[in-house]
Amino acid sequence: MDTFHIPLQTIYLYTLIIAGSLTLLFLFFNDVFHGLSEAVPVSFLNPALILSFLTIFSASGYIGEIAAPLSSPVIGLLSFAVSVLFVSLLHIFVLVPLSSAEESLVYREADLRGRVGKIITSVPKDGYGEVLIEGIGGAISKSAVSFDNEQINYGTAVLIIDVKDGVLSVTPHEPI
């Protein structure tokens, strides 16, 4: 079937090349387009979904035109159905979980107050040591001083009392 005197498989191929290229550009420059997607809160107008729909539709249409002995309207409908299916799966199983995932593992020093850590470098009476704080997002190692100005030995569990200039003030902690 010809559209505007151009074979339909050529239109599918050009659409595939253009949509695939735009998808790659969108992937590389996603942060630039993020502000634009915030202006349109409707999730089905997500550029990633639109571009992936066009890419899958044109790829399956091109393969269908070359390999399948079906008519062009049937191939177009099947390509549409395949695209809707794959884009729906992409949206449900990839984009929605990614959008609800934690965006950053950044923490504030004030968030460390009240946490329990373990001494990995002994804290002398009037000096500095090191504390390891383990959590869900990983482990944090910070410099530490004794809150009560006493020596704290290696391996002791400590409670973080205060944080000043990136240095933790700690005291020995007995688990309840």
Same domain, 120 and 91: no
174 pLDDT more than 90: no
Same domain, 51 and 119: no
Same domain, 120 and 94: no
C-beta neighbour count of 146 within 10 angstroms? 22
pLDDT: which is higher, 84 or 137? 84
Which pLDDT score, from 0 to 100, does residue 64 have?
A: 92
Which pLDDT score, from 0 to 100, does residue 121 have?
A: 92
Final residue in a domain of this structure, among 46, 75, 100: 100
Which pLDDT score, from 0 to 100, does residue 58 have?
A: 94
Which pLDDT score, from 0 to 100, does residue 110 have?
A: 78
Same domain, 162 and 94: no
Which tens digits make up the pLDDT trace of 17-52?
A: 999 899 888 888 877 766 665 665 555 567 788 889
Q: How many helices (H) and strands (E) does the chain have?
A: 5, 7
Which pLDDT score, from 0 to 100, does residue 33 have?
A: 67
Helices of type H across 40-126 = 47-67, 72-90, 96-100
68 pLDDT more than 80: yes
Same domain, 70 and 128: no
Could you tell me which residues come within 8 angstroms of residue 164 by beta carbon, excluding any fewer than 6 positions away?
none
Residue 124 corresponds to which amino acid?
P
Which tens digits make up the pLDDT trace of 77-135?
A: 999 999 999 999 988 898 788 777 655 556 777 778 888 999 999 999 889 999 998 87
CATH number at residue 156: 2.40.50.140
Q: Which residues lie across from 160 on neighbouring strands?
A: 170
Same domain, 114 and 94: no
The H-or-E segment that residue 12 falls in is helix 8-28
In this structure, what token pair is assigned to residue 152? Answer: 């704290």
Same domain, 76 and 134: no
User: Which residue reads 């387009």 in tokens?
Assistant: 33
Same domain, 10 and 93: yes
Q: Across residues 53-79, what is the average pLDDT?
A: 92
Same domain, 72 and 95: yes
74 pLDDT more than 90: yes
Same domain, 25 and 43: yes
Q: For the chain, what is the domain count?
A: 2
Which pLDDT score, from 0 to 100, does residue 165 have?
A: 85
Same domain, 95 and 134: no
In this structure, what token pair is assigned to residue 164? Answer: 């000043």
Buried residues in 70-103 as b, exposed as e (16+ CB within 10 A): eebeebbeebeebbeebbeebbeeebeeeeeeee
Q: Model-level pTM? A: 0.55
Same domain, 42 and 91: yes
pLDDT: which is higher, 62 or 106? 62
The residue segments making up the domain with residue 7 are 2-100
Which pLDDT score, from 0 to 100, does residue 57 have?
A: 94
